[in-house]
């Protein structure tokens, strides 16, 4: 066990994971790792190489991919083999294909290994995704499961698209979220589920500040138990 805290956050798309995890990492001075960005980057490259549906080629692609996440000033940049893919991984095409790519068992093994290496460093870490509390770090010091109603989640995603200059109809977003929820929760390999010992936070009707506060309480508890001094800003 490291001397630092591992904070694991899971939940469906649009439940507020990224916003909450980022703020938390900034407040704590911890590393922030968006694991969804890693599945998205492989999906983007698979689309570009025309290999969607060819699991073997996708696995080979992941093996050859040196993925780097760089979190600074509240934004995560993602690079694969030196090429920046930050904005490209958020396209509608990637949204449509990412859940199917994420089903590939051997791809998950490769990415989970990378995630454990990233999170196992000396710094504290906030890592978010679908299987962080159950598979990647089942012994994390703090385990959180975020949820929100489908309507609220769709509204949030629509706003994100608007902020990036694309208008996408709300019902199209809702349909994509429902499809992804369905695939992510029912797939054979590491489905999205709430870990028994995870603290569930429903974000439908609370502010981001409140979400962060609720999780910070858990973090403080865990730090006290481990005798770790936190430096919260
Ligand atoms: O969090 P996100 O919407 O950016 O994630 C994109 C997809 O990646 C999501 O639909 C399922 C997959 N994913 C996963 O299978 N496991 C993770 N730990 C993170 C994301």
Chain position carrying tokens 């698979």: 46
pLDDT above 70: residue 2: no
Backbone angles phi, psi at 148, to 5 degrees: -165, 160
Helix (H) or strand (E) segment spanning residue 199: strand 199-202
pLDDT band per the 50, 70, 90 thresholds, residue 75: confident
Chain position carrying tokens 């290994």: 113
Pocket perturbation via mutation, ligand 1, pick of 36, 93, 109 by most ligand atoms within 8 A of CB: 36
The finding on whether 43 has its CB within 6 A of some atom of ligand 1 is no
Residue nearest to atom 4 of ligand 1 (CA): 36
| Widest distance between CA atoms in the chain | 51
The finding on whether 13 has its CB within 6 A of some atom of ligand 1 is yes
Nearest Cα to 230, choosing from 30, 31, 33? 30
> Which domains can be identified in the chain, with CATH numbers?
6-219 (3.40.50.300)
Q: How far is 74 from 68, CA to CA, in rounded Å?
A: 16
- For residues 146-169, average pLDDT: 93
- For residues 119-134, average pLDDT: 91
Strands 125-129 and 142-147 turn out to be: unpaired
Q: Of all atoms in ligand 1, which is nearest to the CA of residue 98?
A: 7
Is-contact 215 201, C-beta < 8 A? yes
Whole-number Å distance, alpha carbon 229 to ligand 1 midpoint, is: 32
pLDDT band per the 50, 70, 90 thresholds, residue 164: confident
Residue nearest to atom 3 of ligand 1 (CA): 13
pLDDT band per the 50, 70, 90 thresholds, residue 28: very high
Whole-number Å distance, alpha carbon 34 to ligand 1 midpoint, is: 9
More confident residue, 164 or 117: 117
Q: How far is 148 from 99, CA to CA, in rounded Å?
A: 19
User: Sheet containing 67-72: which strands, arranged edge to edge?
Assistant: 67-72, 75-80, 83-84
Residue nearest to atom 1 of ligand 1 (CA): 36
Predicted pLDDT of residue 1 = 47
Whole-number Å distance, alpha carbon 18 to ligand 1 midpoint, is: 11
pTM of the model: 0.94
Q: How far is 172 from 177, CA to CA, in rounded Å?
A: 9
Residue nearest to atom 6 of ligand 1 (CA): 36
Q: How far is 146 from 12, CA to CA, in rounded Å?
A: 8
Mean model confidence pLDDT for the chain = 94
- For residues 17-30, average pLDDT: 94
The sign of the dihedral angle between the CA atoms of 18, 193, 211, 30 is negative
CB neighbour list of residue 17: distance below 8 Å, 6 or more residues apart: 9, 10, 11, 128, 129, 146
């Amino acid at each position: 066990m490291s001397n630092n805290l591992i904070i694991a956050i899971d939940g469906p798309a649009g439940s507020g994971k990224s916003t909450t995890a980022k703020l938390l990492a900034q407040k704590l001075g911890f590393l922030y790792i968006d694991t969804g960005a890693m599945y998205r980057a492989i999906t983007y490259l698979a689309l570009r190489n025309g290999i969607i549906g060819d699991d073997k080629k996708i696995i080979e692609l992941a093996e050859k991919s040196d993925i780097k996440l760089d979190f600074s000033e509240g934004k995560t940049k993602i690079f694969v083999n030196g090429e920046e893919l930050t904005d490209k991984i958020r396209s509608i095409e990637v949204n449509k294909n990412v859940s199917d790519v994420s089903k590939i068992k051997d791809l998950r093994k490769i990415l989970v290994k990378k995630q454990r290496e990233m999170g196992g460093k000396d710094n504290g870490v906030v890592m978010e995704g679908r299987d962080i509390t159950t598979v990647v770090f089942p012994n994390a010091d703090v385990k959180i499961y975020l949820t929100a109603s489908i309507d609220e989640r769709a509204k949030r995603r629509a706003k994100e698209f608007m902020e990036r200059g694309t208008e996408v109809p709300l019902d199209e977003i809702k349909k994509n979220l429902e499809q992804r929820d369905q695939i992510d929760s029912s797939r054979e390999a590491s489905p999205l589920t709430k870990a028994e010992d995870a603290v569930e936070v429903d974000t439908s009707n609370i502010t981001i500040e409140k979400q962060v506060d609720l999780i910070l309480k858990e973090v403080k508890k865990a730090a006290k138990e481990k005798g770790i001094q936190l430096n919260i800003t």
